[in-house]
Homo-oligomer: A and B are copies of this chain.
Amino acid sequence: MNNSTAVDGITIDCAIFGFNKASLEVLLVQHAEGESIGKWGLLGGYLRKDESADEAAQRIVYELTTLDNIYLEQLKAFTDPKRVSERRVVTIGYYTLVNREDYNIKASQTVIEAKWYKINEIPDLIFDHNEIFDFSLMQLQNRVRQAPIGFNLLPEKFTLLQLMHLYEEILGIELDKSNFRRKILHMKLLVALDEKQQDVSHRAAKLYKFDPDIYKKLTEKGFNFEF
């Protein structure tokens, strides 16, 4: 990358979450250059002089995955003076939620390899990236209870049990099928489609989709996302 356009001493690091079958996973990368060659870490990059941190995070994720318009939220700034040896670098942490069905790795100059890791099988990462990851998971668990951001991890059409398993994975709890159905349907956030699952070896489930317009209307009255 062209360092002349970068802000000195400020980087962006991003935890990219995806949901696969029944498990919540994070995309980690091996860096091809710099002092961290060959070690796994969160996807990162420099903040450029003409962009905000949000724009930088969007750009950095796009450069690796070609994913556009993804859900993205700043965590906080990580500022321990010793977090990177030798230099003083402050990093601004982010997390994003992506739909694995849309995802495709793009060849990249700065990254050797990218790989999904289950959230309870994260290896030792560079710098303070384990701390950043832990914080991002905590933040995800909190946010998912306050707003329906979890839908960003699912394909457009999904069954109620897929949704329930997603919440179970993220929150690390078990939910009652019957009660979950009642509660989520009662919120009126979902639109039932005239479609069912295909090619499953059991009774096919109805498919639903999340409706952001309905969400906007409901959000003014306020409703509860505790599960």
> Which residues of chain A have a CB within 8 Å of any CB of chain B?
7-10, 47, 49-54, 74-77, 79-81, 88, 90, 92, 142, 146
Contacts and interface: CB of A to CB of B under 8 A. Distances in A.
Contacts of A90: 7, 10, 47, 53
A181 B74 CA distance: 37
Contact of A9 (B10, B53, B76): B10
Contacts of A52: 79-81
B9 A81 contact: no
18 contacts: A7-B88, A8-B8, A8-B9, A9-B9, A9-B10, A47-B79, A49-B81, A49-B88, A52-B80, A53-B90, A54-B79, A74-B76, A74-B77, A75-B76, A76-B77, A77-B77, A77-B92, A142-B146
A92 B74 contact: no
A115 B80 CA distance: 32
A202 B76 CA distance: 47
A79 B46 CA distance: 13
B53 A77 contact: yes
Nearest to A91: B77
A74 B142 CA distance: 16
Given A47-B79, A81-B51, A7 B9 contact: yes
Contacts of A9: 7-10
Nearest to A146: B142
Chain B CB within 10 Å — which of A77, A80, A90, A142 has the most?
A: A77
A54 B79 CA distance: 8
Contacts of A8: 8-9
